[in-house]
Amino acid sequence: MIYLLELLNVNCIFSSCDFKRNNIEEKEFLKHLSDEHSDEILEISKKENMSIKAVEMITTSNSTVFINSN
């Protein structure tokens, strides 16, 4: 079985944060969210009536930067 590891380029969307990394695994960014933004994630979860996992998924998606390789 072959596993593809997709590396991300991220720029954290929280305005108070300057976390920017290239070629990291999603789990590294999720650790950042957990370590640095758990209060914000919980607040959004409650306000929007969404699970924490859903908020993390949306935050990860919105923080992912696509670099044009041309």
Domain ranges of the chain: 27-65
pLDDT at 66: 80
List the one residue out of 69, 68, 6, 43 whose CA is nearest residue 59. Answer: 43
Report pTM: 0.83
Q: What band does 2 get if pLDDT is binned at 50, 70 and 90?
A: low
Supply the DSSP symbol for 16: T
pLDDT higher than threshold 90 for residue 45: yes
pLDDT higher than threshold 70 for residue 4: no
Give the contacts of 32 (CB within 8 A, at least 6 positions apart): 12, 19
pLDDT higher than threshold 80 for residue 35: yes
What mean pLDDT is predicted for residues 20-48?
96
Whole-angstrom Cα Rg for the chain = 13
The helix/strand/coil state of 46 is: helix
> Token digits for 31?
């650790």
